[in-house]
Amino acid sequence: MDLPPESSNAEASRPNKATDSARAAAVFEQSVAIMARLRAPGGCPWDREQSFESIRTYTLEETYEVLDAIDRRDFPHLAEELGDLLLQVLFYAEMAANEGRFTISDVLEHLNRKLVRRHPHVFGEEASRAAGNRADVDAAVEGSAAAVLRNWEEIKAAEKRAARDAQESSTPTVERAASRLDSVQRALPALTEAAKLGSKAQKAGFDWANWRDLLPKLEEEIAEVKAEAEKSSAETAGSEKVGGSSKNPGVQAELGDLLFTAVNLGRHLGVDAEMALRGCNLRFRERFREMESAAPRPLEELSADELEALWAAAKKKLAEGIEDGSMAAFVTLAKATAGA
């Protein structure tokens, strides 16, 4: 597919760039066509075997990479990461199209209608209502961001009421009783959701009395993970994975119980599980880097005992603050640890 040429005027090099709508549309059309080709017969075997469940992990990963690029103010990299995130949208839409559910056009139409519906102060009240707005809001915001946000929330609430009413009238369902846990958003990161669920349950008296009571529970959950893993290994002769997602729902469920318990142990100790894990990840990076620097040979060529010795030495070095230039001392420390 031929694309319109890049703009060559002087404005293109200035920070304040104007979007070339024609080029953006052409490039997006090309992306949609590429995704369809990858999923079509004769396309990419890996892409063709993916499912909504198997690529969820990648969606979360790409989202965090976007946030990381923003935190680092790495805008050239941010453009690439936003592309990777957009790929996830195209992937989901193409899979949905393959199953006859919806297409990327439906996704964009929903987005466009929502933007017009929730911005009556920009597109006019008539256009907003034509796009589905049923809320009675004052479009004369007079440059007030707070008024815009207030209108947005009122229109959004009206949308949810309309959607709920439509569902109730078209699909008879068993009514679910309200729960105090309903206020905990399902879309939160899993660690945060687990802590908030535990906190809400605590207010109803359903909680461990103190952090010590969680230690036996952790041991219980570890035993259940072990039992389920051994059962799965016996049945499948090894855990089979597809797209990074285990095919063993029993192991996944038990590991989830273990993580939930660990998160709530942190809650009782006043520790945010997300921050604790991020700190652990950083320590692992630093220690592993020290291992790579001190290793006499590539890590792949070392024995398990040698790797363990390097790891222990790296932990000790970082804990004691050995000077970076003292590599000989670090190697000696690793050898001493191996002999211990």
Q: Give the pLDDT confidence score for residue 335 in this predicted structure.
A: 54
Overall average pLDDT of the 14-38 stretch: 91
Q: What is the pTM of this model?
A: 0.61
**Which two three-digit tokens encode residue 29?**
């059309």
Number of helices and strands in the chain (H, E): 14, 2
8, pLDDT greater than 70: no
Q: Compute the average pLDDT of residues 311-320.
A: 91
CATH of 188-271, one of 1.10.287.1080, 3.40.50.300, 3.30.450.20, 1.20.1530.20: 1.10.287.1080
**pLDDT attached to residue 320:** 83
| CB-CB contact of 239 with 248 (8 Å) | yes
Domain 17-102 -> CATH class: mainly alpha
CA 233 to chain centre: 29
- pLDDT surpasses 90 at 324: no
If pLDDT is split at 50, 70 and 90, which confidence band does 176 have?
low
Three-state SS for 310?
Answer: helix
The answer on pLDDT for 4 being more than 90 is no
Name the 3-class secondary structure at 197.
Answer: helix
Establish whether domains 17-102 and 188-271 are of one fold: yes
- Beta strand ranges found along the chain (DSSP E): 241-242, 245-246
**Distance separating alpha carbons of residues 40 and 97, to the nearest angstrom:** 11
Q: Write out pLDDT tens, residues 63-108.
A: 989 988 998 899 999 999 999 999 999 999 999 999 999 999 999 9
Q: Where are the beta strands (DSSP E) in 164-270?
A: 241-242, 245-246
Q: pLDDT value at position 5?
A: 52
3-state percent helix, strand, coil for the chain, nearest multiple of 5: 70, 0, 30
User: Model confidence at 239, in pLDDT bands (50, 70, 90)?
Assistant: very low
Dihedral sign computed on CA atoms, order 277, 72, 193, 95: negative
Parse the chain into domains and list their residue ranges.
17-102, 112-170, 188-271, 283-339
In angstroms, rounded to a whole number, what is the distance separating the alpha carbons of residues 227 and 234? Answer: 11
How many whole angstroms separate alpha carbon 123 and alpha carbon 148? 13
Distance, in Å, from the CA atom of 241 to the CA atom of 256, rounded to the nearest integer, reads 17
3-class secondary structure per residue, 133-176: CCCCCCCCCCCCHHHHHHHHHHHHHHHHHHHHHHHHHHCCCCCC
**CA 58 – CA 245 distance, rounded (Å):** 10
How confident is residue 172, by pLDDT bands cut at 50, 70 and 90?
A: low
| pLDDT above 70 (res 162) | yes
In the predicted model, what is the mean pLDDT of the chain?
86
DSSP 8: -
Could you identify the residue written with the tokens 């052409």? 26
**How confident is the model over 104-157, as pLDDT tens digits?**
999 999 999 999 999 999 999 999 999 999 888 888 888 899 999 999 989 988
Q: 120, 137 in Cβ contact below 8 A?
A: yes
